[in-house]
């Protein structure tokens, strides 16, 4: 890998993504895709706000006889926290705020969520995932030696909320997805589709011990096809219609809610912080900051030189021994067992049963029809 290592001349994406390609100028396909397919339609200046106003008017009309206009999933991170504020205070919507507690919330995340909910006087529904099943599934993914250890948590997040929205006939789901901070998606080798229920079941059948009877599930066909076309549920990303920048959003949250920053994106979860900041980088050599920073570079929120300096430093500044012990204890194994798992042979999503072929087909179809602009490879 080192002999063939190459980094994009415009971003910090590199050949740790085995499917990355470059042109003669050293520009990666991530960069050229942004220039060709995303930049022309992405207006980060507020000029598309009128389109959002029309959508909001329809939401209010459709949901006038419901207690809520929409549902918003909140993690306590920047994007979902800002979206919650924006939906209530700027769009004058009546959102139900939905939080999934998968057992790894940091105290800071809990505090940030409480501050926003209390200040905005919103209704919060929290789904606490049954821990014995959550623990068993996460430990199964550790034993499977795959990079995408966040899949059990991510799957619980979206399936729980989608299932709830369907059950209580809430037709609109608003999420914090946006091109401004996420125009580059993490490669599949780093973070495989959390919606692939076939793979989740296969890994659990090989390494799990506890039956998953309470764990929420919704495969990609259920939430992409059944919920959308048969139940009429629509997923919207309002932040793509407005002038949205990470720094100004963070400053607003701090000033209005006394919201506190995390050291990096997704670190509101103690598990994700350990997994992305230490495990993934040290076991597999995958650094998700490269995708996060590259998105900020392309949207003029970070210079490439600053990004290069940042990734020279390890993302995990804390003493790892304490967090190793914390994660091991939560998983009900010893620290030595967890370290032994880390030293075993790495595998990928390709080593287990999956719906990859079908998901890949639909992904290509979405890109061909223009519904998906980002590269998913």
Cα angle value 137/185/44 (rounded, 5°): 130
Task: Report the alpha-carbon distance of residue 266 to residue 288 in Å, rounded.
Answer: 10
The pLDDT averaged over each successive group of 10 residues in the chain (377 residues) is 83 97 98 96 87 97 97 95 98 98 92 97 98 98 97 96 96 96 96 96 98 94 88 96 95 96 74 92 96 97 97 80 92 97 97 95 86 90
Give the model's pLDDT for residue 369.
85
CB-count burial class (<10 Å; 0-12, 13-18, 19+) for 182: buried
Give the model's pLDDT for residue 119.
97
Three-state DSSP at 320 gives helix
Strand partners, 174: 72, 236
Residue pair 339/317 in contact by the 8 Å Cβ criterion: no
Task: Report the alpha-carbon distance of residue 257 to residue 370 in Å, rounded.
Answer: 37
Residue pair 68/264 in contact by the 8 Å Cβ criterion: no
The reply to whether the predicted model has a pTM over 0.85 is yes
Give the model's pLDDT for residue 47.
87
Question: 29-368, what's its fold?
Answer: Rossmann fold (3.40.50)
Give the model's pLDDT for residue 90.
97
Q: How many CA atoms lie within 13 A of 66 on its CB side?
A: 19
The domain spans of the chain are 29-368
Give the model's pLDDT for residue 317.
65
Pairing of strands 95-101, 172-174: unpaired
CB-count burial class (<10 Å; 0-12, 13-18, 19+) for 210: middle
Cβ atoms within 10 Å, residue 52: 20
DSSP calls for 68-105? -SEEEE--SSHHHHHHHHIIIIIS---EEEEEEE-S-B
Give the model's pLDDT for residue 3.
62
Q: For residues 64-94, b (16+ Cβ closer than 10 Å) or e, as one string?
A: eeeebbbbbbbbbbbbbbbbbbbbbeebebb
Give the model's pLDDT for residue 265.
67
Give the model's pLDDT for residue 1.
46
Pairing of strands 172-174, 70-73: parallel
DSSP calls for 197-264? HHHHHHHHHHH--S--SSS----HHIIIIIIIIIS--EEE-GGGGS---HHHHHHHHHHHH-----SS
Give the model's pLDDT for residue 367.
85
Kindly report the backbone phi and psi dihedral angles of residue 251, in degrees, each rounded to the nearest multiple of 5, phi listed first.
-65, -40
Give the model's pLDDT for residue 122.
98
Strand partners, 3: none
DSSP calls for 155-170? HHHHHHHHHHHHHTT-
């Amino acid at each position: 890998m080192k002999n063939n290592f190459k980094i994009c001349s415009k971003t910090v994406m590199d050949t740790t993504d085995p499917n990355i390609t470059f042109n003669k100028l050293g520009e990666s396909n991530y960069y050229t895709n942004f220039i060709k397919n995303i930049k022309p339609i992405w207006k980060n200046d507020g000029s598309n706000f009128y389109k959002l106003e029309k959508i909001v008017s329809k939401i209010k009309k459709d949901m006038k006889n419901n207690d809520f206009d929409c549902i918003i999933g909140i993690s306590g991170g920047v994007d979902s926290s800002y979206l919650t504020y924006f939906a209530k205070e700027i769009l004058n919507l009546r959102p139900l705020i939905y939080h999934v507690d998968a057992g790894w919330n940091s105290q800071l995340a809990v505090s940030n969520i409480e501050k926003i909910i209390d200040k905005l006087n919103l209704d919060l529904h929290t789904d606490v995932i049954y821990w014995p099943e959550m623990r068993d599934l996460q430990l199964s993914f550790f034993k499977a030696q795959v990079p995408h250890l966040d899949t059990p948590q991510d799957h619980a997040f979206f399936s729980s909320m989608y299932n709830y929205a369907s059950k209580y006939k809430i037709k609109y789901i608003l999420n914090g997805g946006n091109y401004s901070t996420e125009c580059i998606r993490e490669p599949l080798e780093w973070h495989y589709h959390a919606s692939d229920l076939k793979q989740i079941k296969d890994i659990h059948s090989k390494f799990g011990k506890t039956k998953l009877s309470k764990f929420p599930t919704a495969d990609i066909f259920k939430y992409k096809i059944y919920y959308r076309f048969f139940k009429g549920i629509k997923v919207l990303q309002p932040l793509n219609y407005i002038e949205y920048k990470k720094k100004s959003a963070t400053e607003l949250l701090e000033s209005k809610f006394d919201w506190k920053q995390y050291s990096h994106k997704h670190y509101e979860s103690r598990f994700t912080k350990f997994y992305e900041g230490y495990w993934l980088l040290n076991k597999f050599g995958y650094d998700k900051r490269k995708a996060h920073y590259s998105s900020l570079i392309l949207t003029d929120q970070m210079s490439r030189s600053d990004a290069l300096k940042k990734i020279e430093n390890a993302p995990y500044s804390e003493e790892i021994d304490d967090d190793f012990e914390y994660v091991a204890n939560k998983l009900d194994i010893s620290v030595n067992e967890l370290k032994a798992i880390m030293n075993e042979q790495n595998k990928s999503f390709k080593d287990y049963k999956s719906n990859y072929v079908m998901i890949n087909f639909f992904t290509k179809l979405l890109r061909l029809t223009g519904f998906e602009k980002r590269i998913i490879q």
